[in-house]
């Protein structure tokens, strides 16, 4: 159940981080990377996520509140073999690949102030994540939609508290009760909040450092 919820938020998180905890967005080992051949669709998805990361990292690095807000169309395909590997044989994955998409929208000014002021909360307006889960046999794919309105509190440029704030859920009856229960539990207990804090801090430091280094070398 937790894996399904993680995959649902991956479209939103993919612009901010490389992966949801426990899920690898891209193979990390050199041999895995060498063997993987991205489809044209996956290449386009990766480039779009990269462009979005550049926008966000620019705001975080400069702390400049003047300029355009962030608005990115994010798509992330999770291959069936990747999901199966992530589960480590502990849970059967009953579907094929999962394709998640969302429009990531972040106001620039609060994000910039989060890097320069003593304390700042970044509250995103409600956003919808839409995931299509392919069936292994015949039949139409399952389509799942979940609304979320994340909040992250920063102190001295570091995330210290976060919540996802799940909203309406739309899903086939076969999986709706599981997703509804999982998102409801997280709203009550904020189970994923600490993981979001960890990932946001990783992004603002290591990930943005990598993005900035890559941009710097490209301009030489």
In angstroms, rounded to a whole number, what is the distance separating the alpha carbons of residues 1 and 183?
A: 10
pLDDT at 2: 41
pLDDT at 27: 39
Which of 104, 15, 114, 30 lies closest to 65 in space, CA to CA? 114
Residue 102 contacts by C-beta under 8 Å, 6 or more apart in sequence?
11, 12, 73, 74, 127, 128, 129, 130
pLDDT at 137: 76
Give just the sign of the alpha carbon dihedral 23, 27, 31, 37.
positive
Residues of the chain with pLDDT under 70: 1-34, 86-91, 217-220
């Amino acid at each position: 159940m937790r894996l399904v919820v993680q995959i649902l938020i991956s479209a939103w998180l993919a612009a901010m981080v490389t992966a949801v905890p426990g899920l690898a967005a891209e193979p990390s080992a050199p041999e895995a990377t060498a063997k993987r051949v991205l489809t044209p669709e996956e290449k386009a998805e990766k480039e779009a996520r990269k462009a979005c990361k550049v926008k966000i990292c620019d705001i975080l690095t400069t702390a400049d509140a003047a300029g355009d807000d962030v608005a990115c169309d994010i798509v992330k395909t999770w291959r069936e073999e990747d999901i199966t590997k992530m589960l480590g044989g502990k849970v059967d994955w009953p579907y094929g690949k999962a394709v998640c998409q969302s429009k990531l929208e972040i106001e620039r000014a609060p994000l910039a102030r989060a890097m320069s002021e003593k304390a700042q909360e970044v509250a995103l307006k409600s956003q919808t994540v839409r995931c299509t889960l392919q069936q292994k046999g015949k039949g139409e794919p399952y389509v799942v939609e979940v609304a979320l309105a994340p909040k992250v509190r920063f102190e001295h440029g570091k995330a210290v508290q976060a919540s996802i704030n799940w909203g309406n859920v739309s899903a086939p009856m076969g999986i709706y009760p599981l997703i509804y229960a999982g998102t409801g539990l997280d709203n009550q207990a904020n189970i994923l909040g600490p993981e979001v804090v960890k990932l946001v801090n990783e992004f603002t430091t290591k990930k943005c450092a990598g993005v900035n280094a890559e941009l710097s070398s490209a301009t030489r």
